[in-house]
C-alpha cells in the first residue's frame, strides 16, 4: 500500500531519533502548502570526507511507488547493516559485506518525498495529478512541474515542457521558483554529492544525460555552456539539428554504471530495464538530473554529479495502474528498482577510498587527503588532468569488485597507495620508489582483470618509468599536459615509450 | 488563452492516442495534453503520442489538426485499499526496533 506524506515524514523523524549516530535528518524548506520536507543523511562508521549519493522520490505526485520504495530501501539497508545480513531482493543477493562498504564509505542522502502536497492531492482529489500545488498568479490553474523547474535550459518549450500554467508540464514562473526544487538544489550545493538518481515511473528505463538533445562526443564547442541559446524559446524535435556534447568517458561511465544497475534489476526476476539518454524518451528541459550533471560544466568549481533518472515499472494496461501498480506487483517492482539503486551506490564507492580504509582504518589519513588534493586541486585544472581522473573512474566498478573479492589484489593495491604516500612526502619520484611502484603495478597486471584495466595499468607502468628522478611538482605538470591515452613519450623522458622496464 | 479548471474537482480525463501531423506539432504543444512516459512513434509522417487528455481539450486538439482516439475514461479516485493506514508506521519499522540507539540500556 502507498504511504501518505505525513507518515513518510514521521518515518524520517523516527529513524533519525532511533539512530542518531548514523542518521541526520536534514530539514528542508516547507512545501508550498506548508508541509515539512526532510531528507536523511545516512553514514555509518567513522570515515570522513565521503562521496555522497542522492536519491530523490516523489517529484511527480502520481508516481506513488517511489517514495515508498525509498523508505523501504532505507529500512532494508539499515536492517542488513545492523544485522550483518545479506540484503536479498528476489534473485539478487547484495552481500552483507557490500552493504557494509556502501554504508561505511558513502554519505547516502534520501529525499523520499520531494512533493508532499502533490502526493496528498493524488490521494484525496485526483490520482493523475503530477505537479506540486503552487498557486499560479493570474489563473485558477494550480501547480508547477518540478521536473521542469530546474535551471538547465529552463523556459525552453518542448512537447513535454510548457509555459502554460494549466499544462501538466508547466515549467513555472522562474527557475527554482518552487521550494521543492530549491530543496534538491540545496542538497547538491551543501553536500559532496557525486551520484544521483531521481526516481520516476514508468517505462523500465534508466535515463542519463542529455534530455534536451541527442548526445555527441566529438565537438566540444557544441555545448550548452558555449552555445548561444538566448534565442531558444522552443526546442522542436525537427530543428535545429543541435546535438549536445558529452565527453566520451562520461558517456561510457553513464552507460557502464547504468548497465550494471540494469543487470542488478534483471537479477531480481528477469525484467529488463533499458539504459538510454533522456532524449530518447522525449525531449525535456529544466529537469532534475540534467541540471545536476550540468552544474560542473556551467561552473567548473562544482563537483561533477553522475545523475540518472529511473523510470520504474511498466505499462500495466491503464495509466492509473502504470503510475500506481497494484499490490503485490508493486512490491516486486520496488524490489527491482531497489536492486538498481543499490548497484548505483556500489558503483559510486571510490575504489581508492575503499582500499585506503583497509589500509589506514576509519580515521582520516594524510595520504588519502594528499591524493584527493591532487585530484581536486591539480588534475581538475586541465582537460588532460581530468582525463587521468576519468581513467580511474571508468575502472571504478571493477576496482571495487576486485578490492572486495580478491584479497591479493587488495593487498597489492594497498601497498601501492602507501607507497604513493611515501613518494608524495619525499617530493621526488626517485628510482628506488619508481621501481617498487612498477613492481606493484606489474603484480596487479597479472591479476584476473579486464583487458581494459590491464592496458591502463600498463600505461601507468610506462609513465612511472618515464617520470622517475623528477620532482612531484614536475610529475603533476606532466599529468596536467599529457593525456593518459595520448601517443608519444613524456617530454624530456630518459625512457621513451616502448622501452619497457619490466 | 489558458483553460481554467475548477481545482476542487478533478477534470474529466481520458487516456488517448493522439496522431499529429509533423507540421502541427508546435500548435499541439500549446494544448494541455499530459504525455505518458513512452517514446513517440512516427507512422506515415504522423507523430503518435499516448497521453492523458482533459475533456475540454479534445476539440482544441482536433482543431489543431490532431486525430484523437479516446481509449478510456480515467477514474480520478484513489481506491482506498491502495492507501496505507497511518497506524502501520510502527509495523514497518519493527525490524529496526532491536537496534535502536536511543533505547535505555537493559530495556526490552
Q: Assign residue A65 a region: left if phi > 0, alpha if psi is -120 to 50, beta otherwise?
A: alpha
Burial pattern A171-188, b for ≥16 Cβ within 10 A else e, equals bbeebbbbbbbbbbbbbb
Does the pLDDT value for residue A108 go beyond 90?
yes
- For A79-129, give the DSSP string: HHHHHT--EEETTEEE-HHHHHHHHHHEEEEEE--S-HHHHHHHHHT-TT-
Greater confidence, A18 or B30?
A: A18
Q: Assign residue A49 a region: left if phi > 0, alpha if psi is -120 to 50, beta otherwise?
A: left
Section A13-32 average pLDDT: 97
Greater confidence, A294 or A439?
A: A294
SS3 per-residue string spanning B59-108: HHHHHCCCEEEEEEECCCCCCHHHECCHHHHHHHHHHHHHHCCCCCCCCC
pLDDT on residue A67:
98
The verdict on A2 touching B (C-beta cutoff 8 Å) is yes
First to last CA, chain A: 62
pLDDT on residue A241:
76
Section A205-223 average pLDDT: 92
Taking the C-alpha atoms of residue A239 and residue A228, their distance in angstroms, rounded to an integer, is 15
Contact B39 A280 (CB under 8 A): yes
pLDDT on residue B23:
78
Residue A475: Cβ-neighbour burial (10 angstroms; 0-12, 13-18, 19+): buried
Element (DSSP H or E) covering residue A56? strand A51-57
Element (DSSP H or E) covering residue A418? helix A407-426
Taking the C-alpha atoms of residue A352 and residue A442, their distance in angstroms, rounded to an integer, is 18
Cell numbers given for A454: 590491464
Which positions in chain A touch B22 (Cβ < 8 Å)?
238
Residue % of chain A over a pLDDT of 90? 54
The ranges of chain B with pLDDT < 70 are: 1-8, 104-108
pLDDT band at A234 (very low <50, low <70, confident <90, very high): low
Taking the C-alpha atoms of residue A190 and residue A266, their distance in angstroms, rounded to an integer, is 34
Q: Which chain B residue has its CA at the smallest distance from A169's CA?
A: B34
Contact A238 B22 (CB under 8 A): yes
Which positions in chain A touch B29 (Cβ < 8 Å)?
157-159, 162, 234
Q: Half-sphere exposure of A397 toward its Cβ, with a 13 Å CA cutoff?
A: 19
Which positions in chain B touch A144 (Cβ < 8 Å)?
none
Q: What is the mean pLDDT of chain A?
A: 88
pLDDT band at A217 (very low <50, low <70, confident <90, very high): very high
Taking the C-alpha atoms of residue B34 and residue B37, their distance in angstroms, rounded to an integer, is 9
Does the pLDDT value for residue A102 go beyond 90?
yes
pLDDT on residue A8:
98
CB pairs under 8 A between A and B: 153
Section A215-234 average pLDDT: 77
Q: Which chain A residue has its CA at the smallest distance from B96's CA?
A: A79
Are A482 and A386 contacting, i.e. CB atoms less than 8 angstroms apart?
A: no
- Residues near A225 by beta carbon (within 8 Å), at least 6 away in sequence: A297, A298
Distance of CA A495 to the CA centre of its chain: 39
Greater confidence, A425 or A74?
A: A74
Nearest to B62 by CA among B23, B40, B31: B31
pLDDT on residue A245:
93
pLDDT on residue B7:
58
Does the pLDDT value for residue A157 go beyond 90?
no
Q: Which candidate from A21, A82, A160 shows the least CB-CB separation from B35?
A: A160
Residue A299: Cβ-neighbour burial (10 angstroms; 0-12, 13-18, 19+): exposed
Strands A51-57 and A193-201, sheet pairing: parallel
Cell numbers given for A293: 550533471
Q: Among B21, B29, B76, pick the best mutation site for testing chain A contact (most A Cβ within 10 A).
A: B29
Which positions in chain B touch A158 (Cβ < 8 Å)?
29
Which positions in chain B touch A3 (Cβ < 8 Å)?
84
pLDDT on residue A487:
47
Greater confidence, A291 or A388?
A: A291
pLDDT on residue B10:
75
Contact A168 B34 (CB under 8 A): yes
The verdict on A122 touching B (C-beta cutoff 8 Å) is yes
Are A193 and A54 contacting, i.e. CB atoms less than 8 angstroms apart?
A: yes
Cα–Cα distance list, A120 to A169, A325, A413, B79 (Å): 19, 17, 51, 14
Does the pLDDT value for residue A180 go beyond 70?
yes
Section A208-217 average pLDDT: 93
Residue A263: Cβ-neighbour burial (10 angstroms; 0-12, 13-18, 19+): middle
What pTM value is reported for the model? Answer: 0.84
Are A417 and A357 contacting, i.e. CB atoms less than 8 angstroms apart?
A: no
pLDDT band at A497 (very low <50, low <70, confident <90, very high): very low
Q: Among A128, A147, A273, A311, pick the best mutation site for testing chain B contact (most B Cβ within 10 A).
A: A128
Phi, psi of A237 (to 5 degrees): -65, -25
Contact A20 B102 (CB under 8 A): yes
Task: Dump pLDDT digits (tens) for A418-475.
Answer: 888 888 888 888 888 888 888 888 888 888 889 989 999 888 888 888 888 889 888 8
Does the pLDDT value for residue A406 go beyond 70?
yes
Measured from the Cβ of residue A144, the count of other Cβ atoms closer than 10 Å reads: 25
The verdict on B28 touching A (C-beta cutoff 8 Å) is yes
Cell 582483470, residue located: A449
Does the pLDDT value for residue A54 go beyond 60?
yes
Instruction: Give this complex's ipTM.
Output: 0.89
Taking the C-alpha atoms of residue A475 and residue A469, their distance in angstroms, rounded to an integer, is 10
pLDDT on residue B107:
60
Contact A234 B15 (CB under 8 A): no
Amino acid at each position: 500500500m502507498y504511504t501518505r506524506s505525513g507518515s513518510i515524514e514521521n518515518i524520517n523523524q523516527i529513524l533519525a531519533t532511533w539512530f542518531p549516530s548514523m542518521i541526520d535528518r536534514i530539514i528542508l524548506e516547507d512545501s508550498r502548502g506548508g508541509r515539512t520536507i526532510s531528507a536523511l543523511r545516512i553514514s555509518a562508521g567513522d570515515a570522513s570526507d565521503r562521496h555522497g549519493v542522492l536519491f530523490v522520490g516523489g517529484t511527480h505526485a502520481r508516481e506513488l511507488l517511489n517514495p515508498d520504495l525509498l523508505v523501504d530501501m532505507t529500512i532494508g539497508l539499515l536492517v542488513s547493516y545492523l544485522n550483518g545480513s545479506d540484503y536479498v531482493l528476489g534473485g539478487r543477493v547484495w552481500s552483507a559485506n557490500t552493504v557494509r562498504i556502501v554504508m561505511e564509505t558513502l554519505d547516502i542522502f534520501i529525499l523520499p518525498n520531494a512533493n508532499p502536497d502533490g502526493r496528498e492531492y493524488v490521494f484525496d482529489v485526483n490520482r493523475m495529478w503530477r505537479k506540486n500545488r503552487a498557486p499560479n498568479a493570474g489563473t485558477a490553474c494550480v501547480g508547477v512541474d518540478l521536473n521542469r523547474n530546474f535551471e538547465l535550459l529552463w523556459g525552453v518549450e518542448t512537447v513535454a515542457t510548457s509555459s502554460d500554467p494549466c499544462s501538466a508540464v508547466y515549467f513555472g514562473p522562474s527557475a527554482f521558483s518552487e521550494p521543492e526544487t530549491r530543496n534538491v538544489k540545496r542538497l547538491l550545493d551543501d553536500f559532496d554529492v557525486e551520484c544521483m538518481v531521481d526516481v520516476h515511473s514508468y517505462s523500465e528505463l534508466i535515463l542519463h544525460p542529455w534530455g534536451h538533445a541527442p548526445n555527441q562526443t566529438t565537438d566540444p564547442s557544441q555545448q550548452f555552456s558555449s552555445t548561444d541559446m538566448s534565442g531558444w524559446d522552443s526546442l522542436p524535435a525537427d530543428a535545429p539539428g543541435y546535438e549536445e556534447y558529452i565527453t566520451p568517458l562520461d558517456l561510457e561511465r553513464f552507460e557502464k554504471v547504468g548497465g550494471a544497475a540494469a543487470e542488478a534489476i534483471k537479477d531480481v526476476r528477469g525484467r529488463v530495464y533499458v539504459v538510454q539518454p533522456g532524449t530518447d524518451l522525449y525531449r525535456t528541459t529544466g529537469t532534475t538530473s540534467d541540471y545536476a550533471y550540468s552544474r560542473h560544466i556551467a561552473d567548473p568549481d562544482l563537483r561533477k554529479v553522475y545523475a540518472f533518472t529511473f523510470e520504474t515499472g511498466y505499462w500495466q494496461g491503464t495509466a492509473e495502474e502504470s503510475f500506481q501498480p497494484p499490490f503485490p506487483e508493486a512490491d516486486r517492482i520496488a524490489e527491482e528498482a531497489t536492486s538498481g539503486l543499490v548497484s548505483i551506490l556500489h558503483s559510486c564507492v571510490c575504489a581508492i577510498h575503499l582500499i585506503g580504509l583497509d589500509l589506514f582504518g576509519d580515521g582520516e589519513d594524510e595520504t588519502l587527503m594528499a591524493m584527493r588534493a591532487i585530484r581536486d586541486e591539480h588534475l581538475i585544472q586541465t582537460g588532460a588532468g581530468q582525463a587521468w581522473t576519468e581513467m580511474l573512474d571508468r575502472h571504478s566498478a571493477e576496482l571495487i569488485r576486485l578490492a572486495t573479492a580478491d584479497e591479493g589484489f587488495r593487498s597489492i593495491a594497498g601497498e601501492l597507495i602507501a607507497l604513493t604516500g611515501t613518494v608524495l612526502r619525499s617530493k621526488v619520484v626517485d628510482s628506488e620508489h619508481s621501481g617498487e611502484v612498477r613492481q606493484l603495478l606489474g603484480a596487479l597486471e597479472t591479476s584476473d582483470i579486464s583487458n581494459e584495466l590491464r592496458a591502463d595499468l600498463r600505461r601507468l607502468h610506462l609513465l612511472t618509468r618515464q617520470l622517475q628522478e623528477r620532482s612531484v611538482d614536475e610529475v603533476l605538470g606532466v599529468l596536467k599536459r599529457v593525456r593518459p591515452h595520448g601517443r608519444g613519450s613524456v617530454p624530456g623522458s630518459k625512457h621513451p615509450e616502448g622501452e619497457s622496464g619490466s | 488563452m489558458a483553460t481554467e479548471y475548477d481545482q476542487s474537482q478533478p477534470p474529466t480525463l481520458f487516456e488517448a492516442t493522439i496522431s499529429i501531423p509533423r507540421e502541427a506539432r508546435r500548435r499541439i504543444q500549446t494544448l494541455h495534453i499530459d504525455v505518458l512516459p513512452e517514446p513517440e512513434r512516427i507512422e506515415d509522417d504522423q507523430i503518435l503520442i499516448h497521453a492523458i487528455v482533459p475533456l475540454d481539450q479534445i476539440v482544441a486538439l482536433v482543431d489543431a489538426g490532431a486525430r484523437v482516439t479516446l481509449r478510456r475514461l480515467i477514474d480520478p479516485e484513489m481506491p482506498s485499499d491502495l492507501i496505507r493506514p497511518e497506524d502501520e508506521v510502527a509495523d514497518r519499522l519493527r525490524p529496526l526496533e532491536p537496534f535502536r540507539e536511543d533505547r535505555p540500556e537493559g530495556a526490552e
